[in-house]
Amino acid sequence: MKLSVKLMVAPLVAIAFLVAVSGASYWALRMQQEAAEDLYNGVFGRYRRVVEIDGIMGDVHAGVYRLLSLSGALESDRLSAESGQIKWRLEEVKNTLTQLAALGDDESDSGAMQFEAATAAFEKYGKAVDLAIELGSAGATVYVTGRS
């Protein structure tokens, strides 16, 4: 073998090794990127939904207090519209909870138990809201009819 060929073998082997290492690094980075996207869309996507539910529940809670405080000053049509809006928001929360349950790829008992507990607590809260709206609107009706 000529001396020039012998001198070129070492750099060619080094270049081939660098190409192989860069290919393996690129593959590993792509796998990590896919895992990060799955984490972001999966876990953080569900977390975003939970935060949205929390915000809606806060709006519902504030709306109920607002409705109760204004029940004597508002007409029955306006009270009905306000209570319909609150009930619509509660239905929105219920639908989002159902979607979250469908998104759950984790078939563990703890995840199912958490969903069942959240659903039960939501149903209890919904009944309390209905009762508060009913009592608040009944108070307004009695007040309005009593003034006539």
Cα distance between residue 79 and residue 13, in whole Å: 81
Instruction: Please report which confidence band the pLDDT of residue 112 belongs to, taking 50, 70 and 90 as the band edges.
Output: confident
Cβ partners under 8 Å of residue 56, min gap 6: 89, 92, 93, 96
- Ramachandran class of 40: left when φ > 0, alpha when ψ lies in -120 to 50, beta otherwise: alpha
pLDDT of residue 1: 74
- Kindly state the average pLDDT of the residues 29-54: 90
pLDDT digits (tens, 9 = 90+) for 84-106: 898 999 999 888 888 887 776 55
- The pTM (predicted TM-score) of the whole model is 0.64
Could you identify the residue written with the tokens 């979607």?
Answer: 99
Q: Considering the chain, what is the average pLDDT of its residues?
A: 84
